[in-house]
DNA sequence: ATAGCCATGTAACCAGTTACATGATTGA
DNA sequence: TCAATCATGTAACTGGTTACATGGCTAT
C-alpha cells in the first residue's frame, strides 16, 4: 500500500512527471523504495482519480507532452495522516539465502561464484551511496536540520550494503575452509 | 518464483505436511523466507500437479487427516538445476524509511515513537536468533560441515537485526539532537 | 467459557513484473 | 547506423495478502 505514499512524498518534495519520478526512484530513493515506470503511471492515474494529485500538461514539440504532477491539499492531508500510522518491517524473502541454506545440493564453486557475484553487486551500490554521502558532507559541515532526515536514510543504505559485504566475506571464508 | 524452491528445500530436508511447513517458516527459516499457510497449501497443490512433490494421507481420528508431502526425483532434479541459476538481491521497499525521509511532515515524537517500536521488534527477533545460535554452539564446538550452511543463514539474520538496531539508535540520537 | 493448537482449504483482491507498443531527438 | 534518452501508456500474468470457512481437542 505504500507506493502511493512514496509517490506523494516525492511530489510533496518537488512536482514532476511520471518519468521524473521513475528517475528519482533509481537514485537515492531507490535505496528504500522502487517502482517501474509502468507501475508509476498506473498509480498516478489512480491518485488523480482520488484527487490526491493533479497535473498540468506541458506541451513539447517532437517529444510527447509531459504531465507535470503535484500533490493537492487533500493529498497532503492523506499523507500526514499516513505518517501517524504504524508499519511493520517488511518480511524478508531472499533467494540467495535459500541457496546457501541448501548449499549441499550443489558444488562449493557454484555457491561461491554466486556469493562473489552478490558481493560485487553490493559493493557497487555501496560505492554509489558513498559518493552521495560525500556530496552531503561537503555541502554542509555541521549537519543542517533540513537535510538530516534524507541523510539518515542514506546512512541506512550504506550500513545495509556494508553489512551484506561483511557477511558475504564471512560466508565465503567459512565455506572455503570447510 | 522462489516460494516453490523454498518448499522443495524444506521437503528435501525432511518430509512434512503443509501445516508443518508453515511452522518451519515461522522459525529459523522465517529469517530468509516467509509464507502464510494459504500460500503454502496452494503451492503444494501446484507442485503436486507438476509431480515435483507427492503426498501420503495420514489418517487421524478427531483431527483432520494430514497430507504428508515429500519431494520426488523430478523435484530434486528441478531443485538442483535451480541452484545453478542466478538470483539478484531483492529490491528493498521499506515504509519506515519513507517516513523518516519525509519526517518533516509530522512531529518528532511520532517519528521517534515509530523508531522505538521498530527497535523493539528487531530486538525481539535478534534475541530469538541468538537463542538458536546458542543451541548451535553447544551442540558442536568445532563447527561441523553439515551444520555450517544453515548456521551461516542464521548468522546473517543476527547481523541483519543487529545492524537495524544500530541504525535505529543512530537515527534516534540524531533526531533528538536536532 | 475462552483461547490456542491442530489441520485443511477457497475466493477475492491488491501489488508488482513482464511483455508489448509508439516515436522523435541526440550523440558515438 | 545503432544505442540511449525522453515520454507516454495498456494488457496479461504472477505472487502475496486478507477475508472467510470448518471443527474437534486441550489447557487455563
pLDDT tens, residue by residue, A49-83:
999 999 999 887 767 789 999 999 999 999 999 99
- Residues A8 and A80 sit within 8 Å (Cβ to Cβ): no
B178 confidence band (pLDDT: 50, 70, 90): confident
> Which residues 11-40 of B are in CB contact (within 8 Å) with A?
12-13, 29, 31-34
**Residues of B 41-60 whose CB lies less than 7 Å from any atom of strand C:** 41-42, 44-45, 60
B118: Cβ under 7 Å from strand C? no
Calculate the alpha carbon distances from B22 to A98, A160, B10, B40 in Å.
16, 28, 11, 7
Do the Cβ atoms of A83 and B99 come within 8 Å? yes
- pLDDT over 70 (residue A143): no
Do the Cβ atoms of B32 and A175 come within 8 Å? no
Phi, psi dihedrals of residue B56, rounded to the nearest 5°? -120, 140
Orientation angle between helical segments A18-25 and A37-49, nearest 10 degrees:
130
Q: Of the candidates A55, A121, A54, A88, which has an alpha carbon nearest to the alpha carbon of residue B87?
A: A121
Confidence at residue A127, expressed as pLDDT on a 0 to 100 scale: 95
- pLDDT over 70 (residue B142): no
> Is A163 an 8 Å CB contact of chain B?
yes
Supply the pTM of this predicted model.
0.95
The mean per-residue pLDDT over the stretch B125-139 comes to 92
| Residue B16, nucleotide of least CA–C1' distance | C7
B152 vs A150, A166, A174: nearest CB: A174
- pLDDT over 80 (residue A132): yes
Q: ∠ CA(B83), CA(B85), CA(B86), 5° rounding?
A: 120
Q: Which residues contact B134 (CB under 8 A, 6 or more apart)?
A: none
- pLDDT over 70 (residue A18): yes
> Positive or negative, the Cα torsion across B2, B7, B11, B14?
positive
Do the Cβ atoms of B117 and A86 come within 8 Å? yes
Confidence at residue B62, expressed as pLDDT on a 0 to 100 scale: 67
> Positive or negative, the Cα torsion across B135, B137, B138, B139?
positive
Distance B1 CA to D3 C1' (A): 32
Alpha helices in chain A (DSSP H): 3-13, 18-25, 37-49, 73-83, 95-101, 108-139, 145-177
The mean per-residue pLDDT over the stretch B149-173 comes to 98
The mean per-residue pLDDT over the stretch B93-111 comes to 98
Amino acid at each position: 500500500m505504500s507506493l502511493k505514499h512514496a509517490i506523494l512524498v516525492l511530489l510533496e518534495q518537488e512536482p514532476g512527471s511520471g518519468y521524473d519520478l521513475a528517475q528519482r526512484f533509481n537514485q537515492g530513493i531507490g535505496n528504500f523504495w522502487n517502482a517501474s515506470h509502468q507501475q508509476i503511471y498506473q498509480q498516478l492515474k489512480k491518485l488523480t482519480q482520488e484527487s490526491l494529485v493533479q497535473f498540468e500538461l506541458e506541451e513539447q514539440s517532437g517529444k510527447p507532452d509531459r504531465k507535470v504532477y503535484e500533490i493537492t491539499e487533500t493529498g497532503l492531508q492523506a499523507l500526514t495522516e499516513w505518517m501517524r500510522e504504524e508499519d511493520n518491517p517488511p518480511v524478508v524473502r531472499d533467494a540467495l539465502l535459500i541457496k546457501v541454506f541448501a548449499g549441499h545440493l550443489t558444488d562449493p564453486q557454484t555457491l561461491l561464484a554466486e556469493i562473489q557475484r552478490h558481493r560485487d553487486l553490493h559493493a557497487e551500490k555501496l560505492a554509489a551511496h558513498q559518493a552521495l554521502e560525500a556530496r552531503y558532507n561537503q555541502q554542509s559541515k555541521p549537519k543542517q536540520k533540513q537535510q538530516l532526515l534524507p541523510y539518515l536514510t542514506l546512512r541506512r543504505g550504506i550500513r545495509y550494503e556494508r553489512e551484506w559485504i561483511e557477511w558475504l566475506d564471512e560466508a565465503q571464508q567459512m565455506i572455503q575452509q570447510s
